[in-house]
Amino acid sequence: MFHDARFGLARHVTLPGPLRLDGGGELAQVEIAYETYGTLDAAGSNAVLICHALTGDQHVASTHPITGKPGWWARMVGAGQPIDPARHFIICANVLGSCMGSSGPASVDPAMGVPFAMRFPVITIRDMVRAQAMLLDHLGVGICRAVVGGSMGGMQVLQWAATFPERVQAAVVIASAARHSAQNIAFHEVGRQAIMADPNWRGGEYYRMDDPPAAGLAVARMAAHITYLSEAGLTEKFGRRLQARDAKSFGFDADFQVESYLRHQGISFVDRFDANSYLYITRAMDYFDLAEEHGGLLANAFRGTNTRFCIVSFDTDWLYPTSESRSIVHALNAAGAAVSFVELSSPFGHDAFLLDVPELNAVVDGFLKAGEA
């Protein structure tokens, strides 16, 4: 446990299991790396759980220990922001399957004394949420004032509301979906195949080598990164502009700025992420289909709920387009749940939930304060 340079507390806990998993297996113990900001009030009523996206982590509002960059959601979480340690006890945990300290394929299998690698069990979004619930129990948090997340974080929020409705007063689901579409699965499969095609992947047994499957993971990241941006945003940011040279090279260097940008995204990603974790987390997302768990009808996931919902989409997000949010809203309406829904306009595509979109902060701030009044 160390005190973060800003205001977070970075912690790690090993919780006794077993955690039974949707796939039939179990984890004998569950490691969770997490951060907290603020203080739980005497009534234990001010907890806000933040759920992170595919390649996110627990450093929601603290400097990332590897990249040195600010927390990934410092625009939303911090002093004077909608989620504020002055009034909230904020918790963000690295998801199960990831690589920033929580149990995942890079963790040492206690039974064998070596990293799990591909012996780590395939997990689901619900398994991630169950692990978070164990953490909240450990922290003495019964009910969350809000559970908040974007993208895969939003899937966890929906799963929280479906699995532990009595523990979620308010749910904020941003740029997300209640199931992965065929196109979503297809893009993830390209990424997985890129990793598994890299000879350095070695069936996942690369942890004791010096050469992880960096090239494959970089290609996976590049393909995914395109889906996070809008066509209009890419055109505005890069268009067909060339690199510093004044003319085309008539070669295969990165002539266009967008090529150089993408290569950088791929290369820098491999410094902070584990290829096997990428396989496991994309698989969990592909398996996600909240309706399927509830007899094929999404509304069934929310019947009788007292949770208030806030659903936000972005007009240029083609990864989880507004139509996906609208399906969630229809199901919530059918279930008689309290829901507010807004489609925000932004040029940034899916990535908008991480970027400077003042309307998003206004929406989340207003929704949370309405529940605290």
Binding-site positions: 221, 351
In the sheet that 89-93 helps form, which strands lie side by side, from edge to edge?
2-3, 9-20, 26-37, 89-93, 47-51, 146-150, 170-174, 308-314, 338-344
Give the separation between CA 151 and CA 241, rounded to whole angstroms. 30
By the rule CB under 8 A, 239 interacts with a copy of itself: yes
CB of 45: closest distance to a copy of itself in angstroms?
38
Pick from 283, 317, 348, 364: which binds a copy of itself (CB under 8 A)? 283
Contact stretch for a copy of itself (CB under 8 A) within 2-10, 16-24, 95-103, 337-345: 16-24
Residue owning tokens 């969990």: 284
Pick from 4, 109, 289, 343: which binds a copy of itself (CB under 8 A)? 289
Helices (H) then strands (E): counts for the chain: 9, 11
57 a catalytic residue: no
Q: Where are the beta strands (DSSP E) in 76-169?
A: 89-93, 108-109, 114-115, 146-150
Structure tokens that stand for 333 in this block: 């309406």
CB of 238: closest distance to a copy of itself in angstroms?
5
CB of 266: closest distance to a copy of itself in angstroms?
7
The residues with which 35 forms a beta bridge, in sequence order, are 10, 92
For a copy of itself, give the closer residue by CB, 223 or 334. 223
Give the separation between CA 192 and CA 220, rounded to whole angstroms. 7
Which of 151, 277, 313, 325 is labelled catalytic? 151
Give the separation between CA 129 and CA 156, rounded to whole angstroms. 6
- Residues making up the annotated binding site for substrate are 221, 351
Q: Is 296 exposed, middle or buried (0-12, 13-18, 19+ CB in 10 A)?
A: exposed
Pick from 259, 343, 359, 365: which binds a copy of itself (CB under 8 A)? 259
350 a catalytic residue: yes
By the rule CB under 8 A, 48 interacts with a copy of itself: no
Give the separation between CA 304 and CA 338, rounded to whole angstroms. 11
Contact 64, 106 (CB under 8 A): no
Which of 180, 274, 317, 346 is labelled catalytic? 317
Pick from 113, 199, 296, 358: which binds a copy of itself (CB under 8 A)? 199
Contact 230, 316 (CB under 8 A): yes
By the rule CB under 8 A, 130 interacts with a copy of itself: no
Q: How many residues lie near a copy of itself (CB under 8 A)?
A: 58
For a copy of itself, give the closer residue by CB, 3 or 240. 240
By the rule CB under 8 A, 299 interacts with a copy of itself: no
Pick from 66, 86, 197, 362: which binds a copy of itself (CB under 8 A)? 197
Structure tokens that stand for 27 in this block: 């984890």
By the rule CB under 8 A, 190 interacts with a copy of itself: yes
Pick from 278, 287, 302, 341: which binds a copy of itself (CB under 8 A)? 287
By the rule CB under 8 A, 38 interacts with a copy of itself: no
Give the separation between CA 197 and CA 317, rounded to whole angstroms. 29
Pick from 14, 29, 39, 235: which binds a copy of itself (CB under 8 A)? 235
Residue 302 CB-half CA count within 13 A: 29
Give the separation between CA 82 and CA 61, rounded to whole angstroms. 13
103 a catalytic residue: no
Query: Which residues are designated catalytic?
Result: 151, 317, 350
The residues of the shown chain that bind a copy of itself, judged by CB under 8 A, are 22-25, 118, 121-122, 179-183, 185-187, 189-190, 192-194, 196-199, 215-216, 218-219, 222-223, 226, 229, 231, 234-235, 237-240, 248, 250-252, 254-256, 258-259, 262-263, 266, 279, 283, 286-287, 289, 292, 318
